[in-house]
Structure 1
């Protein structure tokens, strides 16, 4: 009997001990002692960030977007280094022969005239008349007036070869009434004729006039005979007429 009593007491104590241990192991023994649901606990603290996950799969190709507006022109870049010189190319094919062009004719202006034997001595301050033309193809010299009139602009050379006999001579080359060159020879009682020559370059434009004129007084000794002459000549050296590439 005492032994049974001891066993009952031990069983009772064990039961009390089990009931007093409130859900020690997460209520693993609900059948022995079932309690009421407890009050929800406070949220726990956030855990540490997890490790990075793997890259996801590539998405499918989407539709192309609309074309954007054209951007502003950028600044010019720095010039690149100069490349090496390339090889010489092959000669091209010979072209067809062109049509014949116009032939430019050089402008011409020249004359030469002499005084006749029976011509009286020229008067001072008047053009000397060299009345016998030797060359005057263009007609730019007038033997009646003794004047050359420019038709072609350019540079001309004029020269006078005068025979002087028993008189002094002074003459000027005149351009539009103004002396541009003057020459003089004094008579020194020579028994035979002598000569006096002079020339100059002049730049002329159309309508300019050139002639020979003696000085006043006794310096008018132009002379001409069968054996000696006095001449006045002039000719165009080069033209500066740019109005036309072809000269007549």
Structure 2
């Protein structure tokens, strides 16, 4: 309401000035007046009623809805998971093809490694003690030292061996027993008759031995073994075939 009166007042003053100019009573170039006092602020406008909803937008085209977007960048690798339980053992595979032949080995001297032989004699008139290995004091032949000082042959090469002994007795009965690891393999005896000096028959046999088995001769209570000018007592053995 106040705005309307102010505008009407301004229009009236302007009209009056034009009238005076026409009547030569209004000066042509007067001094500008001072600015007017600012008017009072107007009141807030009234609340309006909310308008209706707008029309719905244009729907997406069917073709554009099925278009696949561009491939995205690969994500960051995750941390490794826990180790799973071991699976069941699979079936045995088929045998592989035979390998290529290896290089030829160097030539070696195998003959000395596969040899074993001994021949020993007993040079005493005293009879041996019964039920223990007979000691022999002289080595006639000794290859690879497989016969020891205890009167035993110790097998170092598994295979077949031949052992033979020849014993002399004097004025006593004599039984010579071939032992293998404490077991009797053969017994040869000669009993005293008339002559004081007599020779016991020789004995020999082939034996299959394994490594570290022992072979020796021993007597029982008939232990009249003798060595002297009239006869010798000899024990021999050798490897027939390594196996």
Pick the TM interval, shorter chain. Answer: 0.5 to 0.7
Per-residue deviation, 1:227: 4.5
Equivalent residue, structure 2, for 1:135: 141
Root mean square deviation, CA, Å: 1.9
1:233 to 216, 226, 236: 236
C-alpha distance in structure 2 between counterparts of 1:223 and 1:169, whole Å: 10
C-alpha distance in structure 2 between counterparts of 1:204 and 1:104, whole Å: 24
C-alpha distance in structure 2 between counterparts of 1:130 and 1:221, whole Å: 15
Tell me whether 1:206 sits opposite 2:206 in the alignment: no
SS for the counterpart of 1:136 is strand
1:168 to 170, 173, 176: 173
Contact 1:117–1:226, Cα closer than 8 Å, also in 2 = no
SS for the counterpart of 1:196 is coil
C-alpha distance in structure 2 between counterparts of 1:186 and 1:99, whole Å: 61
C-alpha distance in structure 2 between counterparts of 1:101 and 1:227, whole Å: 53
2:227 to 220, 224, 228: 224
Equivalent residue, structure 1, for 2:122: 115
C-alpha distance in structure 1 between counterparts of 2:199 and 2:185, whole Å: 24
Unaligned runs of at least 5 residues, structure 1: 1-97, 241-248
Per-residue deviation, 1:194: 2.1
Per-residue deviation, 1:99: 7.8
C-alpha distance in structure 2 between counterparts of 1:133 and 1:175, whole Å: 21
Deviations 1:109-147 (A, max 9, x none): 0000000135x21111101111211111311001x2100
C-alpha distance in structure 2 between counterparts of 1:164 and 1:236, whole Å: 28
In structure 2, relative to structure 1, the CA distance for the partners of 1:153 and 1:191 (3 Å cut) is same
Per-residue deviation, 1:226: 3.4
Q: Which moved more, 1:120-129 or 1:230-239?
A: 120-129
Per-residue deviation, 1:189: 1.9
